[in-house]
Amino acid sequence: MWIFKQVADLQLKISQWKAEGKTVGFVPTMGALHAGHVSLLQAAKTDIRVCSIFVNPTQFNDATDLEKYPRTPEADISLLLDSQSCDLLFMPPVEEVYPPNFIPKHFDFGPLAKVMEGAFRPGHFDGMAQVVNRLLDIVQPHELYMGQKDFQQVSIVAEVLFLLDSPIKLVVVPTLREADGLAMSSRNVRLNAEERAKAPIIYGQLTEAKKAMLLGEPIPSAMDKIKTALLAAGGFEPEYMTVVDGKTLQPLSQLHDSDYAVLCLATWLGKVRLIDNVVVKR
Ligand code: AMP
């Protein structure tokens, strides 16, 4: 596995591969890698798999969250080597991604970015789109692999590619979960033992609510039940739970208003913010 910190080194290697006719798949991450990240690399059907690790400061609207974001570069490298899932790891310092002459591109996502994460984390998607756009410019992959876990992020990145008229193919990979259902996340390591034991309630509630709604339970009462269960368990501070149209991300008041419905949730558990989602119907 090649490991580069400089854009020029990465671009030289990738241009050599491309000259040999090889296709390049790209998995951008913020590190603290886990099996979910590896599953994205393993899903890549391209000849070459590139992974980046960059904790992007511009997408954090909370300074403490940025500071506390786990950083485990040695373990990340070991995981990529052990899993043999990556050909090139890019670990740039901030000034490589944002050089002094960098002019951020502004995208208008309209209603897509105004709901859910966009409503609770102002500026988050501007920063995320900026870094994805910059990393795509640097890596110039044929395919981009992203996780269903960050459902709204995938929609926004699809919109970025559309607005850029980009030929890059976006591939969405299912959420990898722990045996007890908890969605794998870099943030999970910040849960204490008690919180970690409670965390699977999130997915348990999402799947219960999905079943109930498919049997006719109205959306508002299914959402109320999730909230009640989280509050009863203690330690949770839910931010939102909502069923949205999978394309527009706008809230649905009834399941039959759309043929693609996704139940999305964000909650604090202690000092850790967790998100998850399930497709209710498609
Ligand atoms: P992050 O490092 O959290 O920014 O995530 C990098 C990429 O990995 C994003 O496309 C995430 O959606 C994806 N990802 C994170 N957790 C999981 C998971 N449990 N299963 C699949 N993909 C994931």
This prediction has a pTM of 0.97
Compute, in angstroms, the gap from residue 267 CA to the centroid of ligand 1.
Answer: 17
Catalytic site positions? 37
Residue 280 · residue 213 · CB < 8 Å? yes
Alpha-carbon gap, residue 134 to 253, rounded angstroms = 37
Compute, in angstroms, the gap from residue 40 CA to the centroid of ligand 1.
Answer: 8
What are the pLDDT digits (tens) for 48-91?
999 999 999 999 988 998 999 999 999 999 999 999 999 999 99
What are the pLDDT digits (tens) for 119-146?
999 999 999 999 999 999 999 999 999 9
Query: What string of DSSP letters covers 13-53?
Result: HHHHHHHTT--EEEEEE-SS--HHHHHHHHH--SSEEEEEE
Residue 279 · residue 246 · CB < 8 Å? yes
Closest CA to 179 of 213, 155, 203: 203
Q: Is the pLDDT of residue 228 over 90?
A: yes
pLDDT at 103: 92
Alpha-carbon gap, residue 266 to 183, rounded angstroms = 12
> In sequence order, what E strands does the chain have?
2-4, 24-29, 48-53, 88-90, 143-147, 169-173, 236-245, 261-269, 272-281
pLDDT at 235: 98
Residue 269 · residue 195 · CB < 8 Å? yes
- In this structure, what DSSP letter does residue 122 have? T
Alpha-carbon gap, residue 242 to 277, rounded angstroms = 9
Residues enclosing ligand 1, CB less than 6 A? Answer: 29-30, 36-37, 39-40, 146-147, 149-150, 173, 175-176, 183-186
CA distances from 135 to 96, 97, 131 (A): 10, 8, 6
Of the residues 34, 37, 39, which should be mutated to test ligand 1's pocket, given the most ligand atoms within 8 Å of the CB?
A: 37
